[in-house]
Amino acid sequence: MLQAPPVNLVISSGEPAGIGPEISLAAACSFLKEQSQANITILGNSSLLNVPKEIDSDILARLKFEFVELAQPVSPGKLNPANAPYVLSMLDVAVTGCLVGRFDAMITAPIQKSILNNTGVPFTGHTEFLADACGIDHVVMMLCAPLPTGFLGIRCPRDFRVALMTTHLPLKDVATSLTRDRILQTIQIVHRDLQQKFGIANPALRVAGLNPHAGESGYLGREEIDLISPAIELAKEEGIRVTGPYPGDTMFDAGSLEFVDAYVAMYHDQGLAPFKFVTFGGGVNVTLGLPIIRTSVDHGTALDIAGKGLANSGSLLQALRLAYQLAVNKKTSSS
């Protein structure tokens, strides 16, 4: 059996007053114990990244740090707008490093979007920031988590994946943001990345409707008739294995977990409420459609427990595992 190629990962350790720095270090150490072919660089301030004294020398040899200066000292749990540029600086270093091939994938710890916006920097989220940094008009946010055998009756382990047609929008703006072309492009991006990055030869997709009961034949809204169904039909003509639109409250039936590779929801909570109900703390956020690989956690900064040794690094560990696997897939497919 061929050994996997070496993979260089970079972690942006996120909001300095949150749990990002501590879970970045904990997850990195755990992952390097699992995977001997990985190298990890953590971006952050030296005051926030205290390496355990008992760390194995082999792990320490593959764990690097690039220290970034803070504007002001950090108090755990207390946001400070002066340190907003620090967060953006780490993201810039990680993205640039991936674009030039220095890193094979980037993993982002949680940030506090409000503190960035309060400083006058328009920041909707990592997904939108990365699209702009990479010069991409349309990217897709997808959450992934492994489901074990027996969960809701599934007969073998499966990955549960939920992609979003729209991301961080007020609910009142969702319907007006949808177009047939945008829906088609989202389906195409999910299909292509499942093939090229996840190695799924012929992925099966399910697409949700927007309205209750998927519009009830137009009685509860026409988006399904005018936009969603036509986009699905165009995708089918391209050979994409996609079905829908399904009512949002029945799309995620347990039986479909056996054969659906990704569910596509129309808006944030339609997709992520069911996802997080069954996977919270073990999910991974992946940005599809980028020229680079990016994964992240499925939770926030947890300011209330920052610095208290209570943070669970499980989601970031899963993000490292997935980023590594996607990077290996990319390396082996291009060799």
Burial grade of 201 (CB within 10 A; 0-12, 13-18, 19 or more) = exposed
Structure tokens at 56: 């194995």
pLDDT tens-digit readout, 217-273: 999 999 999 999 999 999 999 999 999 999 999 999 999 999 999 999 999 999 999
Q: What is the mean pLDDT of residues 188-214?
A: 96
CA torsion sign for 76, 79, 82, 87 is positive
Q: What is the mean pLDDT of residues 298-311?
A: 93
Split at pLDDT 50, 70, 90, the class of 1 is: very low
Bridging pattern class, strands 7-12 and 204-208: unpaired
Return the higher-pLDDT residue of 119 and 30.
Answer: 30
Name the strands in the sheet holding 204-208, side by side, starting at the edge strand that comes first in the sequence. 63-67, 38-44, 7-12, 105-108, 294-297, 284-288, 140-147, 158-164, 262-265, 204-208, 241-246
Provide the 3-class DSSP secondary structure of residue 55: coil
Phi first, then psi: what are they for 117, rounded to 5°? Answer: -65, -35
Split at pLDDT 50, 70, 90, the class of 335 is: low
Alpha helices in the chain (DSSP H): 20-34, 57-61, 84-99, 113-118, 126-133, 171-177, 180-196, 223, 229-237, 268-279, 314-334
Q: Looking at 47-51, 91-95, 114-118, which range is the least confident one?
A: 114-118
Split at pLDDT 50, 70, 90, the class of 332 is: confident
The answer to whether 48 touches 13, Cβ cutoff 8 Å, is yes
Split at pLDDT 50, 70, 90, the class of 146 is: very high
237 Cβ contact list (under 8 Å, min separation 6): none
Split at pLDDT 50, 70, 90, the class of 64 is: very high
Phi first, then psi: what are they for 241, rounded to 5°? Answer: -85, 90
What the chain holds in terms of domains, given with CATH numbers, is: 1-136+290-335 (3.40.718.10), 138-287 (3.40.718.10)
Task: Report the C-alpha gap between 144 and 197 in whole angstroms.
Answer: 13
pLDDT tens-digit readout, 102-139: 999 999 999 998 888 877 777 778 888 899 999 999 99
